[in-house]
Amino acid sequence: MAIPLRKQNEIEKLRIAGNAVAKTLCYLEQNVKSGMTLLDVDKMGEEYLRSLGARPSFKGLYGFPNAICTSLNEVCIHGVPTNQVLQDGDILGIDIGSEIDGWYGDAAITIPIGKISKQDEDLIACSKDALYHAIDIIRDGMRFKELSHELEKFIHSRGFVPLVRFCGHGIGREPHCDPEVPNYLEGANPKQGPKIKNGMVFCIEPMICQKDDEPDIDKVDKWSVRSRDGLRASHYEHQVAIVNGRAEILTKV
């Protein structure tokens, strides 16, 4: 595994791409409401992202048909926008990728539509809090497996489980590259594998399920990923750079 170490000027280019994603997520969080369709959300997000000078990098990536992943309720990640109408009480995961001048940005949030249940509030809080916990504890020299182990422990402490077989990832001049960053420990020893180093840029994205951690990919659209328990799920993501030994968020306004 060759994990790129980015120079400061390269990190700044990634920050520009990440900032476009962050602004678009904020815009959607403020404007998405019940009565809209998932395709409405996709169109609104794509138009706003393009207005910032960014290309929606998910569109056509690996054959994905739209600009934005809209993961509704039981869909944890990779939801394909459809004519389904949002209703009060829904929760919606919004995942956006950008490309500006050959550099990529990527982040995700899960938002409530109107008033949601306490269980759904806790579910969303778990993914968001796990993400910021991970960002806070990252240090130069920490192993990626240690980070994955800490994510897993945090998620379990909230009474939820991390989705398996999907993970965070490196990002740079490609939307996905090394390293892989699972939300759970693979193997028994967290003191193994590559170390986090200054200059690395990667995405951390807790994907939270309620009971069953195994994924179930939609047989019709071939993209939408649900937990096999059929219960609601949540997803949050930031793109970070390791600068002066700590994680710095690139996908923020």
Taking only the tens place, the pLDDT of each residue in 120-156 is 999 999 999 999 999 999 999 999 999 999 999 999 9
Domain boundaries, the chain: 8-249
- Concatenated DSSP letters for the chain? -------HHHHHHHHHHHHHHHHHHHHHHHH--TT-BHHHHHHHHHHHHHHTT-EETTTTGGG--SSEEEEETTEEE-PPP-SPBP-TT-EEEEEEEEEETTEEEEEEEEEE-SS--HHHHHHHHHHHHHHHHHHHH--TT-BHHHHHHHHHHHHHHTT-EEPSS--EEE-SSSSSEEEEE-SS--SS-TT-SPBP-TT-EEEE--EEESS---EEE-TTTS--EEETT----EE-BEEEEEETTEEEESS--
Taking only the tens place, the pLDDT of each residue in 167-224 is 999 999 999 999 999 999 999 999 999 999 999 999 999 999 999 999 999 999 999 9
Report the CATH architecture of 8-249. Answer: Alpha-Beta Complex (3.90)
